Amino acid sequence: MSRFIIHGGRRIGGVLVPSGNKNAVLPMLAACVLTEEPVTLENVPLIDDVRTMLELLDGIGVEVSVQGHTVRLCAKGLRRSRLDPALCGKVRSSILLAGPLAARLGRATLSPPGGDVIGRRRVDTHFQGLAALGIEVEGGRDFVFRRRRLEGADMVLDEASVTATENVLMASVLAQGRTTIFNAACEPHVGDLALLLNKMGARIRGIGTNRLEVEGVEGLGGAVHKVQPDVIEIGSYMVAAAVTGGELRVTGVEPEPMMIVGRTFQRLGLRMQWAGADTVVQPRQRLKVVKDFGAAIPKIEDGPWPMFPSDLMSVLLVAATQAQGTILFFEKMFESRMYFVDHLISMGAGIVVCDPHRVLVTGPARLHSISMASPDIRAGVALLIAALCAKGESVVHSAQTIDRGYERVEEKLRALGADIVREE
């Protein structure tokens, strides 16, 4: 167990080279089992969830080689279809191996997936989509997937689930005939997975939309692919700079996702500029809530892309505590994500908890230091950001929770001017 000790009051600024996208690389690692040929992924974030996925793959016979941020995987010797139960319990992404394993070997057995406790996280959409392709699912203590046949199908997902879309997509590329997936998730990391699959020989159309068309192929080959930058990490560091008054330049950013995220940031007066492939947060920003027409209290709500991503709700809520005005946050997707605001209230934030999904924030508030625990990845980073702009020494326990999704977070923050150390 480890903890972070933060002395607040210092500006966060400088140049940030973003890590690879966590939510893109995890399904890409699962996709390697679809072929006997090597798959090489570049710009892989060295986070705990990635390490756990690599352990899962190694346990079923995938050859894994890691050199810096490049990972080479070869599933030619794939020999097992049962995943380690203990490792499944550590990460949500373990379920992403169900479709590829069943498509390749005809069978997959895994324990219920773990991950952050932020509310109920359904797996029904995975089961329904895979069943439409001919992969039977048995529930119980373990999930057992058996392939009767693998034939294309037209399906409408009952929710635009990111991981369910990815699971069904990976299985469908080896199905006989055409598959059409309606109500597919269209987040950038889903598109990045589809680009990798096409490099491997898949035939996927409609990338970036909620209607994916797949022409099945007999087999896939190897590929080399660079993982896109992590929008959630970028947004988190941008908020850290904005609430502390620093100037931050983020290099190698894809503009379209940042424009969508930035649209919501602007509702708090958080401004950014584009300079070629870089995005810049301007210094000494005076955050102020932009009211709706008629001076009504505005609302920030999350939803499937291109709506604001749920993974950034926690950090943007911290930004709202430092903005002048009142704004409502409506977390629609997970009923437990807002529980961390109790810590912010203890730090002096002006927050009214309306119900598990909605909180009303009035700022700016002068935050003071406390000792607190990180309940999940995104809330943990939000608490780090709150500590950065608070007066005094704050302690954030359960640092390993944040390590699951952010690479070397204390080193990156120190390089940007933070006074932060890790203690075991």
Q: Is 116 a catalytic residue?
A: yes
- Token digits of residue 310: 């749920």
- Token digits of residue 104: 């390749």
Where b means 16+ CB within 10 Å and e means fewer, 23-52 reads: bbbbbbbbbbbbbebbbbbebbbebbbbeb
Catalytic residue among 84, 116, 192, 230: 116
Q: Per residue, what are the HEC states of 355-391?
A: ECCEEEEEECCCCECCEEECCCHHHHHHHHHHHHCCE
Tokens 């990391």, located at residue: 189
- Rounded Cα–Cα distance for residues 89 and 114 (Å): 4
Q: How many CB atoms lie within 10 A of CB 65?
A: 12
Closest CA to 167 of 40, 61, 283, 26: 26
Sign of CA dihedral 259, 262, 267, 273: negative
Maximum alpha-carbon separation in the chain: 65
Residue 306 preceded by cis peptide, ω within 30: yes
Where b means 16+ CB within 10 Å and e means fewer, 1-10 reads: eebbbbbbeb
- Token digits of residue 42: 């570049």
Q: At what angle do helices 188-199 and 22-31 cross, to 10 degrees?
A: 30
What are the catalytic residues? 116
